[in-house]
A and B are shown apart, each in its own frame.
Chain A
Amino acid sequence: MSDQQVQAGAVRDKEDVVLEVEGLRKTFGGLVATDDASFAVERGTITGLIGPNGAGKSTLFNLVTGFYEPEAGSVRVNGRDVTGMAPHDVADHGLIRTFQTPRKLEGMTVREAMLVGPQDQPGESFLTLFTDPESVAERERANLDAVNRILEEFEIDHLARQPATDLSGGQMKLVELARAMLADPEILLLDEPVAGVNPTLANTLADHIERLNDEGTTFLVIEHDMGFIMNLADPIVVLDQGSVLVEGDPEAVRNDDRVVDAYLGGGNA
């Protein structure tokens, strides 16, 4: 039990910070969902974000990714301020997210849905479709190759031409993760990646996340499944009542009294 590995509040003096969140605040009417939340994510890590129900994890995600506008505070990606930007502008800065409930794409096949991932496609400009069809075709070919390759890596290439709505919950999570990778993120934010997924597939997902992390992708993961997140992430940031309670390595966090209290609704209530 090495107490020095858990710190009250977030660890801020990290070396190579990708995402830095400073004093974020958001209220819904009288409810303070996020209150002066600050933390930093170091490049190359899988940082876990946990906390009891209602701690403000999802709100914090929405604030960071631009879906909510914060009332105070700032968000920086690689030192550049993205506070208050529209979600697609935040995504442009390399911050890509997935959703808690997989989003179904009606009327699309899996590979079509995957092809939405890559950023800055020339074919997304109406005019370019007419002025420069060659470059559209060229990029489209490259993207389709990338889609096929990544589907193989995720071992779901047999699903490529299935309707995106006909997948199991776990397969959808895999597709979401694979598609997010196609956007070539600086940091990938996963919102409960194994919620509603069977244990076998959860392990597969964990393996993929670790593999991608080894290949250089930084992750910030919200998860309720303690076994999953404790095995996967280091460090762990614990959120309680809208702000950061402690940060530390999984083993230490698990045994920290403040964390136990927060989860059991003890002392500080």
Chain B
Amino acid sequence: MSRLTDPRGHWDRLTRAERGVAGFVVALLALLFYGFVTGGFGPAYVLYLVGLVGMYVLLSFGLNVQWGYTGLINFSVAAFFGLGAYGTALLTADSSPIAGGFNPLVGLVVGLALAAVVAYVVGVPTLRLRADYLAIASLGLAEVIRALVLNERRWTNGSAGLRGIPGFFEGWPLLDRFPELMPGLRVVVVPGSPIVLQEPFWQAVLNVTLVFVFVAASYLVLRRVHRSPWGRVLRTIRADEDLAEALGKDTYAFKMQAFVLGSVIMALAGVFYAHLNLFVSPGDFEPINTFYVWIAVILGGSGSNRGAMFGGFVIIAIREGTRFLGALLPDALRFTLPGALSVLPDGLLAALAGALSLVESTYATVVGNFASTRLLAVGLLIILVMRYRPEGVLPPQRELIWTGVADDTTRADPDSGVREARGGGSDE
């Protein structure tokens, strides 16, 4: 617990990247807190954002097991997320065409089991082949599952989605009525804009607690299995599968375990989402979510759990931040040519005016649709990362040796973890 007893020394021991990350996270949290105190963001919304971060952290954890640990290219993150969400929704929602009304705990188990079974079935034919085949199959799988959910109305309600999903704690003693029981609070920090904490806020507190438990549990499991002989075999497979085989490791079995484990963690994110949003629809299977998660893992540092956490955080910052950035900028730019320029020939003047109006209209388009430019931001980000820091912001830092066995497992070169072994770098 050096960070409590000796915060100064702890800070000094951090790498430059770690300090940057810490600064970035603190700055964003401060911004969020500022918005919260001044009443700019509703308290329930702030907590909703925290919940989304947790959800993306889970998704990144899942993909990190598959890609970061093992080198498996899975392009159906959204599908496993959706399977988790639909798995629990179909069993708990009022509007479920199959069997609604079960306790969300049952939904949780079924959602995870569904993802595990699908992952296994997809893995059987593809994991015996080279990595590229899994990539292709998973790309198809995501669309197949989306099309199935969209069209098999008698089972899934089709495009109407599933409404009336209960909160996760419905039917639990005490927690069930926690939001109603908590008193409404009114806190005035800045005069004139009081913060009102009512039922939605307490509901959001519950949700954040839930996702925190999910993330903490996954993290503890992953930390144990990664820094172990098991995690070491996965890293060997990622680097050179033939070598792992030659050393007597059943690579197919290891890849299957990693694939199923990762998919189950993705489904866990889906279960949380269903009980957060209380509504699921085929839109939740959109492939864009898969790529957000890929970016989170690559940005954070493939193979590093901390990196996956950071990546999830950044993705939400971009996704939600762009909503507000657009509102902050002026709607339009207006250029007027200074009168002094009228000495120029008419033709040149017209060309100049034409160029300026092009700039004006482009600006208006960009600001008017600022939310869509988040894709641009994400694209730029990924290019910058691949160019300047291909190993990610927080690459893996420890040797994969069982905790407590070696005196010191910190890598001598913490800034050069698992690089992209296969020349091309990003697989986007």
Expressed in whole angstroms, the minimum distance between the Cβ of A162 and any Cβ of chain B is 7
**B418 close to A91 (CB less than 8 A):** no
Query: CB-CB < 8 A to B249: which residues of A?
Result: 88, 116, 124
Stretch at the interface among B321-329, B381-389, B395-403: B395-403
A88-B249, A88-B251, A124-B233 in contact; A106/B401 too (CB < 8 A)? Answer: no
**B246 close to A96 (CB less than 8 A):** yes
A88-B248, A96-B246, A115-B232 in contact; A107/B401 too (CB < 8 A)? Answer: no
Expressed in whole angstroms, the minimum distance between the Cβ of B305 and any Cβ of chain A is 14
Q: Is B340 an interface residue (CB 8 A)?
A: no
Counting chain A CB atoms within 10 Å of each CB, which of B233, B406, B418 scores highest? B406
Expressed in whole angstroms, the minimum distance between the Cβ of B237 and any Cβ of chain A is 10
Q: Is A112 an interface residue (CB 8 A)?
A: yes
Select from chain A the residue with minimum beta-carbon distance to B420. Answer: A106
A93-137 near B? 1/0 per residue, CB < 8 Å: 000111100011111110111011101011111100110000011
Q: Is A17 an interface residue (CB 8 A)?
A: no
Q: Is A86 an interface residue (CB 8 A)?
A: yes
Q: Is B18 an interface residue (CB 8 A)?
A: no
**A96 close to B229 (CB less than 8 A):** no
Expressed in whole angstroms, the minimum distance between the Cβ of A123 and any Cβ of chain B is 3
A106-B421, A116-B233 in contact; A179/B240 too (CB < 8 A)? Answer: no
**What is the interface residue range for chain A against chain B?**
35 or more
**A124 close to B229 (CB less than 8 A):** yes
A105-B236, A161-B412 in contact; A140/B419 too (CB < 8 A)? Answer: no
A138 to B230: give the CA distance in the assembly, Å: 15
Query: CB-CB < 8 A to B233: which residues of A?
Result: 116, 124
**B248 close to A140 (CB less than 8 A):** no
Query: CB-CB < 8 A to A97: which residues of B?
Result: 246
**B247 close to A129 (CB less than 8 A):** no
Q: Is B416 an interface residue (CB 8 A)?
A: yes
Q: Is B242 an interface residue (CB 8 A)?
A: yes
A112-B232, A129-B224, A162-B412 in contact; A144/B257 too (CB < 8 A)? Answer: no
Q: Is A9 an interface residue (CB 8 A)?
A: no
A105-B236, A137-B405 in contact; A112/B247 too (CB < 8 A)? Answer: no
Query: CB-CB < 8 A to B246: which residues of A?
Result: 65, 67, 87, 91, 96-99
Q: Is B49 an interface residue (CB 8 A)?
A: no
**A124 close to B230 (CB less than 8 A):** yes
Decide if the interface of chain B is mainly helix, strand, loop or mixed: loop
Query: CB-CB < 8 A to B230: which residues of A?
Result: 123-126, 129
A108 to B411: give the CA distance in the assembly, Å: 9
**B401 close to A144 (CB less than 8 A):** yes
B221-250 near A? 1/0 per residue, CB < 8 Å: 000110011101101101110111111111
Q: Is B300 an interface residue (CB 8 A)?
A: no
**A105 close to B239 (CB less than 8 A):** yes
A130 to B229: give the CA distance in the assembly, Å: 13
**B225 close to A103 (CB less than 8 A):** no
Query: CB-CB < 8 A to A124: which residues of B?
Result: 229-230, 233, 249
Query: CB-CB < 8 A to A111: which residues of B?
Result: 399, 401
Query: CB-CB < 8 A to A141: which residues of B?
Result: 405
Counting chain B CB atoms within 10 Å of each CB, which of A65, A99, A116, A136 scores highest? A116
**B228 close to A144 (CB less than 8 A):** no
Query: CB-CB < 8 A to B251: which residues of A?
Result: 88
Number of B residues with CB within 8 Å of any CB on chain A: 41
A191 to B413: give the CA distance in the assembly, Å: 31
A126-165 near B? 1/0 per residue, CB < 8 Å: 1001100000110011001000000000000000011100
A67 to B251: give the CA distance in the assembly, Å: 13
**B247 close to A179 (CB less than 8 A):** yes
**B399 close to A91 (CB less than 8 A):** no
Query: CB-CB < 8 A to A98: which residues of B?
Result: 246
A137 to B406: give the CA distance in the assembly, Å: 10
Q: Is B417 an interface residue (CB 8 A)?
A: yes
A109 to B257: give the CA distance in the assembly, Å: 24
Counting chain B CB atoms within 10 Å of each CB, which of A86, A87, A137, A180 scores highest? A87
**A105 close to B240 (CB less than 8 A):** yes
**B240 close to A137 (CB less than 8 A):** no
A105 to B234: give the CA distance in the assembly, Å: 11
Which residue of B228, B236, B247, B250 is within 8 Å of A108 (Cβ)? B236
Query: CB-CB < 8 A to B228: which residues of A?
Result: 123, 129, 136
**B225 close to A88 (CB less than 8 A):** no
Which residues in window 340-366 of B have CB below 8 A to A?
A: none
Which residue of B225, B239, B261, B405 is within 8 Å of A107 (Cβ)? B239
Which residue of B240, B248, B396, B411 is within 8 Å of A119 (Cβ)? B248
B154-175 near A? 1/0 per residue, CB < 8 Å: 0000000000000000000000
Expressed in whole angstroms, the minimum distance between the Cβ of A117 and any Cβ of chain B is 6
A210-221 near B? 1/0 per residue, CB < 8 Å: 000000000000
A108 to B231: give the CA distance in the assembly, Å: 12
**A106 close to B418 (CB less than 8 A):** yes
A65-B246, A116-B236 in contact; A137/B399 too (CB < 8 A)? Answer: no
Select from chain B the residue with minimum beta-carbon distance to A182. Answer: B247
Q: Is B404 an interface residue (CB 8 A)?
A: yes
Expressed in whole angstroms, the minimum distance between the Cβ of A113 and any Cβ of chain B is 8
A22 to B243: give the CA distance in the assembly, Å: 26
Q: Is A183 an interface residue (CB 8 A)?
A: yes
**A129 close to B244 (CB less than 8 A):** no
Expressed in whole angstroms, the minimum distance between the Cβ of B405 and any Cβ of chain A is 5
Counting chain A CB atoms within 10 Å of each CB, which of B246, B250, B417 scores highest? B246
**B245 close to A86 (CB less than 8 A):** yes
Q: List 5 A-B contacts (CB under 8 A).
A: A67-B242, A87-B246, A88-B247, A96-B248, A112-B401
Q: Which residues of A contact B (CB under 8 A)?
A: 65-67, 86-88, 91-92, 96-99, 103-109, 111-113, 115-117, 119, 121-126, 129-130, 136-137, 140-141, 144, 161-163, 179-180, 183
The list of the 5 closest CB pairs from A to B, nearest first, reads A123-B229, A91-B248, A107-B418, A87-B245, A140-B402
Known interface pairs A88-B245, A98-B246; 12 further A-B residue pairs with C-beta atoms within 8 A, sorted by A's residue number:
A67-B245, A99-B243, A103-B242, A103-B243, A105-B235, A107-B239, A108-B239, A108-B399, A109-B412, A112-B399, A124-B230, A140-B402
